[in-house]
Amino acid sequence: MTSEQILIMLATAVLSFFSGRAQSMANKHDEAVAKKEQLFMEMMENQKKFIAWQEEINNQNAEMKKEIRALQLGVDRICKGGLVLLRDRIIQSCRAFIERGSITITARNNIRDMYKCYHDEFKGNGDGEYFYEEMMNLPVDQDVPIVSHFDVGGGHSDRKN
């Protein structure tokens, strides 16, 4: 074998070696790229799922807000109805005792408790306030015994005889 042939064989061996190494590196690079692409696709799929889940939560939240608004409207209507009923009851009771010219302790306490709720809790005023003040100025019937009374503010009853 000539030296040229040996050089050609050596060059071929070196080129083959580097070609194999380059191919091996290219394969590893391709695998890494494929893994990254797979991870990216999984991330995109997860993002789609998350967005769908978030839209579902937003829809549920919107429905809950509608329900809360409807409930609040119902509560507001009940409160307004309670205010109207309390005002009417206070005015009717006060008028009856104003016409009579006096009031019993029990009736006065009951009207006071209604008025307290009407005025303090419902922020009512106007006619109810006018009639309440007139009723509070009435003389109390002396011959009627004081009976048990339920205190609206404290939630307990005071018994007096």
What tens digit of pLDDT does each residue of 50-90 get? 999 999 999 999 999 999 999 999 999 998 998 899 899 99
Put residue 151 in one of left, alpha, beta given phi > 0 → left and psi -120 to 50 → alpha. Answer: beta
Write out pLDDT tens, residues 92-131: 999 999 999 999 999 999 999 999 999 888 887 777 888 9
Query: Which residue range(s) make up the domain with 61?
Result: 22-158
Mean pLDDT for 128-151 is 76
In a domain, 49, yes or no: yes
Nearest CA-CA partner of 146 in 160, 132, 158, 130: 160
Contacts of 113 (CB under 8 A, 6+ apart): 150, 151, 152
Residue 151 pLDDT > 70: no
Is 7 among the domain residues?
no
The 10 Å Cβ neighbour count of residue 82 is 15
- Domain membership of residue 95 (yes or no) is yes
Position 153 in a domain: yes
**Into how many domains does the chain fold?**
1
- Residue 13 belongs to some domain of the structure: no
pTM value is: 0.55
